[in-house]
Structure 1
């Protein structure tokens, strides 16, 4: 029986590589607090999560760096497995 592929070394390496880039959330455009780690990161809405451009349930590749994106836990959860995303708000009203 094969274990969870998200617990494997290749997935952890991809997550570490994405985290090291220090990019803002690709969904909302705001900065991610990369300092949130450990048990708190699993529940904190502003923590970093690895998101996939093409959701895994839609055929996206789990370990493809071109499919990996940095996201807030809250934004990643809200997106679900949709392929379209709402555009980030403008910084001020026009």
Structure 2
């Protein structure tokens, strides 16, 4: 019986490779708290450009992106990142 593929050595190696690059969140563009506890909303998670539920490859480096836990959760399985609301500088 095979276990969860996200607990395997290849997936952990992919996470370590992406974490070592210390890139900002690909969804919102802000810095990621790489030292934060994994349960923190601003902590690092590996997001897939093409969601796994839509045929994305779990272990493909081209499909892996760094994201905040909150951003990754809010994106869900959509193929494009959610649009951030544009704020004006004044109340109109």
TM-score normalised according to structure 2 size: 0.88
Per the alignment, residue 26 of structure 1 pairs with: 26
Within 5 A, what are the aligned runs for 1:1-94?
A: 1-36=1-36, 40-41=37-38, 43-87=39-83
Please report the RMSD computed on the Cα atoms of aligned residues, expressed in angstroms. Answer: 1.7
Deviation per CA, 1:18-74, whole angstroms, max 9, x where unpaired? 0000000000000001111xxx31x21000000000000000000000000000000
Query: Aligned to 2:47, what secondary structure does the other structure show?
Result: strand
Query: Aligned to 1:15, what secondary structure does the other structure show?
Result: helix
State whether residues 45 and 73 of structure 1, in contact with CA within 8 Å, keep that contact through their aligned partners in structure 2.
yes
State whether residues 27 and 71 of structure 1, in contact with CA within 8 Å, keep that contact through their aligned partners in structure 2.
yes
Q: Deviation at 1:89?
A: 6.5
Aligned residue pairs: how many? 89
State whether residues 27 and 88 of structure 1, in contact with CA within 8 Å, keep that contact through their aligned partners in structure 2.
no
The structure whose Rg is larger is 2
TM-score normalised according to structure 1 size: 0.87
Which ranges in structure 2 are unaligned for 5 or more consecutive residues? Answer: none
Which ranges in structure 1 are unaligned for 5 or more consecutive residues? Answer: none
